Amino acid sequence: MKTFLTTVAVILLLAPFGPGSRGQTAEDPCHPDAQRSTQLMACAERKFKEAAAELKRARDELHADLEPRSRVKFRAAERLWLRYRKSNCETEASIYEGGTIQPLIELRCMARLTLARADELKTQTQTLHGTN
């Protein structure tokens, strides 16, 4: 028991220095002063990964509550959304065609749409559960 408590205490003490706090250092690519294109790209990649994780959470929560019949319809919507996201972000980045900034604009667009889709799925989970 004592060993267990010690372990918990050590974990709690170490937690603030874990991966979550790296963002505070000067190395943070998402720091407002970060301007190098490699930093901006690294920041966009991180934001996209965070958005994708958020979407996955919302998706799993909704999917778990669906009947098999609805899952088919849900997956159809999901596939069409992926196509829409790709098409939309290619369109958005097209003004920077050939420029070094093009992949950055596209990735930022992907992150933005992914977050919007996560919100959409959260709302759909509410709809599924009805009103009070």
Partner 1 sequence: MKTRRIILCALLATALLSAAAGAKTQQQRPVQPCEERGSQAEASGCAHREYQAADAELNKAYNRLAAILDADEKALLKTSELAWIKYRDADCTFESSQYAGGTMRPMIESFCLTRVTKARTAELNEQYELRSDK
Residues that bind partner 1 (CB under 8 A): 69-70, 73-74, 76-77, 80-81, 83-84, 87-88, 90-92, 94-95, 105, 112-113, 116, 119-120, 123-132
Q: Is the dihedral of CA 99, 103, 104, 109 positive or negative?
A: positive
21 vs 37, which CB is nearer to partner 1? 37
Q: How many CB atoms lie within 10 A of CB 117?
A: 20
**Smallest distance, partner 1 to C-beta of residue 104, A:** 12
Q: ∠ CA 99-86-110 to the nearest 5 degrees?
A: 75
- Closest CB to partner 1 among residues 27, 65: 65
The answer to whether 51 and 107 are in contact (CB under 8 A) is no
**What minimum distance in Å lies between the beta carbon of 128 and partner 1?**
5
| Nearest distance from C-beta of residue 90 to partner 1, angstroms | 7
User: Measured on CA atoms in the order 39, 41, 47, 52, is the torsion positive or negative?
Assistant: negative
Minimum CB separation of residue 11 from partner 1 in Å reads: 20
Q: Count CB-CB contacts under 10 A for residue 31.
A: 14
| Nearer CB in complex with partner 1: 43/115 | 115
Kindly tell me which of 46 and 63 has the beta carbon lying closer to partner 1.
63
